Structure 1
Amino acid sequence: MSNQPPLALSEFWNKLRLRAITFDLPDDQTGTGTGSGEVLRASRRDVLWQGKAAVTLNRHDAQDEIKALMDEIRHGGARFLVSDPKRRGPQSDKLGTLQGNSIATVHSFDLGDRRKLVLRGLPAGFELRAGDLLSIEYGADPVRHFLARIQRGGTFAGNTPKCELRVLPFLPIGLEVGQVVTLRSPVCKASYVPDSYTPIERLPGYDGGFEFKWRQTYR
């Protein structure tokens, strides 16, 4: 199933009645203390988004549909797209009215510092703030989904408005100038974390909720 397109937000993630979630980047370093109080750090892996979804109770039929999808994910290995429901758009344009039909694209990036990204394509004065999310599709077979949180924001300015940002995680190898940048419901592709699912209880009139963990994948 890993070579199949991931389940779109509308096919799975947006159908969940989420009661609570975690959606974050784990630490990417280990540390060892010295006698002088210094902490020696070493990077241990690529930074991948991860989280837990807590789904509230629902009608039998609705929850059965979700259970069938969970079977595909748990046993069939289906991948799925996830998005942070609390950050569906930039803080300065939550309804998307300022962006309108404008499309943000990659103008340039710094090969020496893969946290620096310059965008173009949005109107002068459009602001992106620290904490906003963005995603970029790149590559093929499979298509990969890069999701980043803006660490240092900026405002589009100039004759051809551009905006320089600093982001995490680091920009991936394979990113190209001109690729489309998604600011509304940015996504990453995720896989189910084995043995993290809590079964649903059948109750009169409705089914109980459940929880599961997910982790970003580029496969």
Structure 2
Amino acid sequence: MAYSQPAILADFFNTLPIQEVDFRLDRQRQVNGLAGGEILTADLAPALWAGSMRLATMPKRRAAEVQAVLADLEAPGRSFEVTKAHQIGPASDPAGTLLAGANPTVAEVDATNAHRLKLSGLPAGFAMVPGDFLSFTYDQGSGPRRAFHQVVQGQTADAQGAQAFFMRVQPLVRPGTISGGVTLTRPPMLAVLVPGSVSYGVTFGNTTSGMSFAFRQTLRP
């Protein structure tokens, strides 16, 4: 197994025999209930993606390779690329073939609503629909960071491959996002292992089963 740091999708995540996956947007909120039944919420920090993976039973030698990388990734400062398992491209291009020759970019972020952005460089008539994912690099002045978003309200590209209207995404688009390339096929984000979440499994005979881990998005490379 090739292994770089941060560990890119092709070298680690894409090689895993993922059996079960939990993938969600984790909102860090304070919640207060009022006497009248109202519920007040306030964001304490930016929403980050998080989840967990359970791996299928695998040959013990293959499992040993995965275990070695997981042990290394548990060290402070280590990170790896993650994407939505079992989902390659947008719903309009599940295998990523239509996008192979395209050059999608962020065309504009709505100045009054950070949940909305436009794309350009898409195939003519290409539709982005709720549930699709995208990632891109942005910079808040302290170096490049990786953004990862899910489409909530989609749009369809015109004959020139541009979106005539904004589409809504979650979480909000962070400051520092400017026009630049967007990844729609296996869009990666950076993540770290949740401390104490790794199960290295049990080996019986020539196979190892029960391996799992939890991850949380990190914005810093």
| Larger deviation, residues 96-105 vs 208-217 | 96-105
Counterpart residue number, 1:45: 45
Is 1:121–1:162's contact at 8 Å kept on the other side of the alignment?
no
Per the alignment, in what secondary structure is the counterpart of residue 68 of structure 1? helix
* Separation of aligned partners in 1, 2:41 and 2:115: 19
Deviations 1:48-70 (A, max 9, x none): 10011111221121111111101
Residue aligned with 1:51, SS: strand
Q: Does the CA-based 8 Å contact 1:58-1:209 persist in structure 2? A: no
For the 8 Å contact 1:191–1:217, the answer to whether it is kept is yes
Are 2:64 and 1:58 aligned? no
Q: Measure how far apart 1:199 and its partner are.
A: 2.8
> Equivalents in 1 of 2:208, 2:154: separation in Å?
43
Distance 1:142 1:66 in 2: 30
Relative distance call for 1:170 and 1:85 in structure 2 (3 A) is same
CA distance in 2, matches of 1:12, 1:160: 33
TM-score (ref. length: structure 1): 0.90
Alignment of 1:159-170 (within 5 A): 161-163=162-164, 164-170=166-172
Match of 2:29 in 1: 29
CA contact (8 A) 1:99 1:123 kept: yes
Residues 57-136 of structure 1 aligned to structure 2 (within 5 Å):
57-75=57-75, 77-136=77-136
Residue correspondences, number: 215
Q: Which 4+ stretches in 1 moved above 6 angstroms?
A: none
Take 2:39 and 2:76, find their aligned partners in 1: how far apart are those partners? 43
Compute the displacement of 1:203 (Å): 1.0
> For residues 136-151 of structure 1, what are the structure 2 equivalents within 5 Å?
136-139=136-139, 143-151=144-152
Match of 2:11, SS?
coil
What residue identity is the alignment partner of 2:171? P
Q: Do the aligned partners of 1:190 and 1:214 also contact (CA within 8 Å) in 2? A: yes
CA apart distance, 1:158:
5.8
Unaligned runs of 5+ residues in structure 2 are none
Q: Hey, what does 1:176 align to over in structure 2?
A: 178
Whether contact under 8 Å (1:30, 1:43) holds in the other structure is yes
Q: TM-score, normalised by structure 2?
A: 0.90
Q: Distance in 2 between matches of 1:10 and 1:141?
A: 27
Match of 2:66, SS state, is: helix
Whether the aligned pair in 2 keeps the contact of 1:83 and 1:185 (CA below 8 Å) is yes
**Which residue type is aligned with residue 67 of structure 1?**
Q
Q: Distance in 2 between matches of 1:128 and 1:160?
A: 12
Specify the alignment match of 1:17 in structure 2: 17
Q: Which whole-Å CA distance do the structure 2 matches of 1:16 and 1:160 have between them?
A: 35
Could you say what the CA RMSD is over the residues aligned between the two structures, in angstroms? 1.9
Once the two structures are superposed, residues 7-55 of structure 1 have per-residue CA deviations (whole angstroms, 9 ceiling, x without a partner) of: 0111111121111011110234332222222212211211010011111
Percent identical residues: 30
The change in CA–CA distance for 1:76 and 1:38 in structure 2 (over 3 A counts) is closer
Following superposition, the deviation at residue 124 of structure 1 comes to 2.5
Distance in 2, matches of 1:99 and 1:207, equals 38
- Superposed CA offset, 1:66-90 (max 9, x none): 1110111013642100011233211
Moved more, 114-123 or 96-105: 96-105
